[in-house]
């Protein structure tokens, strides 16, 4: 009886997840990257994520101040990178498996170029402009989105790139993995934040797994697409402007091809 | 990108209200929406903000665009809560031999969250429509947001439009050369586009720095000066907060 009941429950879960994914596909005229929308988190969670994000942003600003003291062009560069990340994350790219368009996060490339600390500031700036002028994300969910996109995305992208470059993996593959991990880390942490925020009295883990499954049709291929895009960017920079990669500390001067 | 512009008709009734007060009122109403127990208060806020958006001349298409993503997310949340949380069964169905059920308490919770999303989005949208970006930055500076962060925001906002034009020129050139004819080519083209944008961002930052240093830039941008508050705008802000507070308490 218990084995049959367990099977029945499993079948029900599979069907429910299938239906949810189907609804997701039919509803999604335009799928969006994982930003938590304004108002979705209760006040307590919104404040908690804000306090978790604050030290990372503060450290990023501290690093920025130190770098600006030696190079005045650094602050305009970070501002322009924020603008570039904003535009990249507004550009639609096709997600074939979902039959729709979505857009990348862009924190993988900013993590590689500027380092994770300053990339958090870049993400925070891009998120605030998106929240105010596109209703993408929000003011009350700004902290949560900084943690998922800025902190987790930048750290995952940066760490993947550094580790792979350390073991002599080529630029394209390292860039691809950086973009992939940045996107998937953002997706995972956003799902966790969302599940924690909306679960009410329900247990956390079942809802978390259902949210993960619901977004698989877009986020899984989107991660691969973001990886390909990041690889394309890194390779272009390596071929056309290696001086930029040297200035940012991504390459050592000796690594630049003649 | 045109939705970034507020496109409100000037002059409008909120034009002369200080950005700091607009920011404070918006943040307070946002907290009220997030802490409201039911769906009625957020819906009241939604209605009030939509009416104000129309009054200050926000185009209907821009308003609709701003609400399209939150609407989609609200629908997803309602569906998630209906199907996966709650105890009281509202309906059940047998699909291909497998039973699915929707829950009444899950649906109620989902609708509450959805109303909260729409109410909160309407507040922030109205703030965006009614406040020019530089005034908003001055308001943030008054709220003790670090100057370095405000400078990054100002650089980013200024260059979003410049880089967007560059991006559109590259995109059209790629499209005309069948750069997006297949998924593979599209990905390659998008990578090139994003890489070119990064290069242009770098080049613009260098030329901007040279131009700014020649004009006395020493690493910090001067913030907008604040004018003293007018008593009329303080009264208006307090009155609107009192009304909202009373409705929040009642609903």
Q: Give residue B146's domain range.
A: 142-214
Instruction: Compute the distance between CA of residue B124 and CA of residue B110 in angstroms, rounded to an integer.
Output: 21
Residue A191: alpha-carbon gap to chain centroid: 12
Mutate to test the interface with A, among B156, B161, B206 (most CBs of A within 10 A): B156
| CA angle B229–A134–B42, rounded 5-degree value | 70
Residue contact A82–B68, C-beta within 8 A: no
Residue B61, judged by CB atoms within 10 A of its CB (0-12, 13-18, 19+), counts as exposed
Examine residue B115 and state whether it is found in any structural domain, yes or no: yes
Across the interface, of A32, A230, A240, the residue whose CB is closest to B69 is A32
Residue A25's pLDDT band (cuts 50, 70, 90): very low
Tell whether the model's pLDDT for residue A18 goes beyond 90.
no
CB contact under 8 A, A87 and B206: no
First to last CA, chain A: 72
In this structure, are B191 and B245 located in the same domain? no
Q: Find the distance separating the first CA and the last CA of chain B, reported in whole Å.
A: 38
CB-nearest to B160 from A83, A124, A210 is A83
pLDDT in tens, A177-206: 999 999 999 889 988 998 888 887 778 888
Are residue B171 and residue B114 in the same domain, yes or no? no
Residue showing tokens 């949210």: A211
* Closest CA in chain B for residue A73: B209
Contacts of B118 in chain A (CB under 8 A): 39
Q: Is the pLDDT of residue B219 over 60?
A: yes
Q: What average pLDDT does this structure show over A85-96?
A: 69
On the question of pLDDT at A99 being above 80, the answer is no
Are residues B135 and B161 in contact, defined by beta-carbon separation less than 8 angstroms? no
| pLDDT value of residue A257 | 63
Q: Is residue B191 part of a domain?
A: yes
Contact (CB<8Å) A234/B195? yes
CA angle A88/A91/A96 to nearest 5° reads 120
Contact B130, B14 (CB under 8 A): yes
The winner for highest mean pLDDT among A114-128, B52-66, B124-138 is: A114-128
A24-50: average pLDDT:
71
Whether A151 shows a pLDDT value over 60: the answer reads yes
Q: Which residue has the higher pLDDT, A9 or B111?
A: B111
Cβ atoms A219, A183 nearer than 8 A: yes
The per-residue pLDDT for range A205-246, each reduced to its tens digit, is: 888 888 888 777 778 888 888 898 889 888 888 888 888 888
* Alpha-carbon gap, residue A43 to B116, rounded angstroms: 11
What integer is the mean pLDDT of A39-64? Answer: 93
Shared-domain flag, residues B121 and B18: yes
The average pLDDT across B197-212 equals 86
Q: What is the 3-state secondary structure (H, E, C) of chain A?
A: CHHHHHHHHHHHHHHHHHHHHHHHHHHCCCCCCCCCCCCCCCHHHHHHHHHHHHHHHHHHHHHHHHHHHHCCCHHHHHHHHHHHHHHHCCCCEEEHHHCEEECCCCHHHHHHHHCHHHHHHHHHHHHHHHHHHHCCCCCCCHHHHHHHHHHHHHHHHHHHHHHHHHCCCCHHHHHHHHHHHHHHHHHHHHHHHHHHHHCCCCCHHHHHHHHHHHHHHHHHHHHHHHHHHHHHHHHHHHHHCHHHHHHCCCCCHHHCCC
What is A35-255's CATH number?
A: 1.10.1760.20
Give the count of domains, chain B. 2
Q: Tell me which chain B residues have a C-beta less than 8 angstroms from the C-beta of A81.
A: 198, 201
Inform me whether the pLDDT recorded for B11 exceeds 80.
no
Integer Cα distance of B123 and B138 in angstroms:
19
Higher pLDDT, A247 or B25: B25
Contact of A233 with chain B, judged by CB distance below 8 Å, is answered with yes
- Whether the CA torsion B33, B39, B40, B44 is positive or negative: it is positive
- Whether residue B49 lies inside any domain: the answer is yes
Alpha carbons A18 and A21: distance in angstroms, whole number: 5
Q: Is A159 on the interface with B (CB under 8 A)?
A: no
The secondary structure of chain B, three-state, reads CHHHCCCCCCCCCCCCCCHHHHHHHHHHHHHHHHHCCCCHHHHHHHHHHHHHHHHCCCCHHHHHHHHHHHHHHHHHHHHHHHHHCCCCEEEEEEECCEEEEEEHHHHHHHHHHHHHHHHHHHHHHHHHHHCCHHHHHHHHHHCCCCHHHHHHHHHHHHHHHHHHHHHHHHHHHHHHCCCCCCHHHHHHHHHHHHHHHHHHHHHHHHHHHHHHHHCCCCCCCCCCCCCCCCHHHHHHHHHHHHHHHHHHHHC
Model pLDDT, residue A180:
93
Interface of B with A in 27-46 (CB under 8 A): 27, 30-31, 33-35, 42
pLDDT tens digits along B66-111? 888 888 888 888 888 888 888 888 888 887 777 788 888 889 988 9
B241: closest CA of chain A, how far (Å) = 19
B183 and B235 in a common domain: no
Which of chain B's residues have a Cβ under 8 Å away from the Cβ of A137?
A: none
pLDDT, average across residues A65-83: 87
Q: Which residues of A touch B212 (CB under 8 A)?
A: 76
Question: Would you say residue B156 lies in a domain?
Answer: yes
B121/A37 Cβ within 8 A: yes
Residue of A20, A82, A233 with shortest CB distance to B195: A233
User: What pLDDT, on a 0 to 100 scale, did the predictor assign at position B80?
Assistant: 81
Residues of A in contact with B190 (CB under 8 A): 91, 93, 229, 232
Give percent of chain A above pLDDT 70: 81
Is A165 within 8 Å of chain B by CB? no
Write down the pTM of the prediction.
0.85
| Closest CB to B152 among A40, A121, A134 | A121
**Do B34 and A42 lie within an 8 Å CB cutoff?**
yes
Looking at the fold, whether B121 and B210 belong to one and the same domain comes out as no
User: Is B222 a domain residue?
Assistant: no
Rounded to a whole number of angstroms, the distance from the CA of B228 to the nearest CA of chain A is 25
Please identify among residues 190-229 of chain B the ones whose CB lies closer than 8 Å to any CB of chain A.
190-199, 201-202, 204-206, 208-209, 212-213, 217-219
pLDDT value at A45 more than 50 = yes
B133-149 tens-digit pLDDT = 888 888 888 888 898 89
Judged by CB atoms closer than 8 Å, whether chains meet at B69 and A72 is answered as no
Domain presence at residue B127: yes
Q: Measured between alpha carbons, how far is A181 from A236 in angstroms, rounded to an integer?
A: 20
What pLDDT does A9 receive? 59
Residues B163 and B234 in one domain: no
Residue A12, pLDDT above cutoff 70: no
Q: Are B112 and B103 in contact (CB under 8 A)?
A: no
Nearest to B53, CA basis, from B69, B39, B42, B64: B64
Which residue in B66, B81, B183 is closest to A94 by CB distance?
A: B183
Per-residue pLDDT, averaged over A122-138, amounts to 87
Q: Which residue has the tokens 């609400």?
A: B67
The total number of residues written for chain B in this structure: 251
Of B34, B187, B190, Cβ closest to residue A140: B34
Phi, psi angles (nearest 5°) of residue B92:
-140, 150
pLDDT, position A96: 55
Q: pLDDT value at position B9?
A: 58
Q: Taking the CB of residue B81, how many other CB atoms lie within 10 A of it?
A: 27
């Amino acid at each position: 009886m218990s084995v049959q009941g367990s099977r029945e429950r499993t079948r029900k879960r599979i069907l429910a997840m299938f239906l949810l994914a189907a609804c997701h596909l039919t509803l999604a005229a335009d799928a969006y990257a994982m930003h938590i929308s304004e108002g979705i988190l209760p006040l307590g969670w919104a404040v908690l994520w804000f306090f978790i994000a604050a030290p990372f942003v503060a450290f990023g600003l501290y690093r920025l101040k130190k770098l600006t003291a030696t190079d005045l062009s650094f602050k305009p560069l970070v501002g322009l990178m924020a603008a570039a990340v904003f535009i990249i994350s507004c550009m639609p790219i096709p997600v074939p498996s979902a039959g729709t368009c979505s857009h990348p996060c862009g924190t993988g490339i900013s993590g590689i170029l500027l380092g994770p600390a300053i990339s958090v500031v870049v993400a925070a700036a891009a998120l605030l402009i998106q929240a105010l002028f596109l209703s993408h994300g929000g003011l009350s969910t700004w902290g949560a989105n900084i943690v998922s996109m800025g902190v987790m995305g930048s750290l995952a992208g940066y760490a993947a790139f550094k580790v792979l470059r350390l073991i002599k993996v080529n630029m394209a593959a390292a860039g691809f993995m950086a973009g992939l991990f940045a996107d998937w880390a953002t997706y995972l942490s956003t799902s966790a934040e969302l599940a924690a925020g909306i679960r009410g009295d329900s247990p956390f883990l079942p809802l978390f797994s259902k949210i993960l499954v619901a977004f698989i049709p877009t986020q899984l291929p989107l991660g691969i697409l973001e990886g390909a895009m990041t690889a394309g960017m890194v390779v272009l920079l390596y071929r056309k402007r290696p001086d930029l990669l040297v200035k940012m500390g991504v390459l050592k001067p000796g690594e630049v091809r003649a | 990108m045109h939705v970034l512009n507020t496109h409100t008709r000037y002059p409008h009734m909120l034009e002369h209200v200080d950005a700091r007060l607009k920011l404070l009122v918006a943040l307070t109403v946002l907290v009220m929406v997030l802490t409201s127990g039911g769906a009625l208060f957020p819906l009241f806020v939604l209605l009030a903000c939509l009416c104000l958006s129309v009054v200050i001349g926000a185009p209907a298409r821009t308003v609709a665009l701003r609400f399209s993503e939150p609407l989609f997310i609200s629908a997803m949340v309602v569906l998630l809560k209906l199907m996966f949380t709650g105890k009281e069964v509202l309906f059940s169905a047998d699909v291909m031999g497998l039973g699915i059920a929707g829950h009444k308490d899950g649906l109620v919770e989902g609708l509450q969250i959805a109303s909260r999303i729409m109410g909160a989005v309407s507040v922030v949208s109205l703030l965006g429509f009614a406040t020019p970006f530089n005034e908003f930055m001055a308001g943030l500076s008054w709220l003790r947001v670090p100057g370095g962060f405000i400078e990054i925001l100002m650089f980013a906002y200024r260059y979003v439009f410049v880089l967007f034009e560059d991006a559109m020129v590259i995109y059209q050139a790629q499209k005309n050369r069948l750069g997006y004819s297949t998924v593979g080519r599209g990905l390659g083209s998008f990578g090139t586009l994003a890489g070119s944008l990064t290069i242009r961002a770098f080049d613009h930052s260098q030329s901007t720095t040279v131009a700014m240093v020649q004009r006395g830039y020493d690493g910090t941008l001067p913030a907008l000066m604040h004018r003293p508050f007018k008593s009329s705008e303080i009264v208006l802000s307090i009155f609107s907060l009192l009304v909202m507070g009373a409705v929040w308490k009642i609903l």
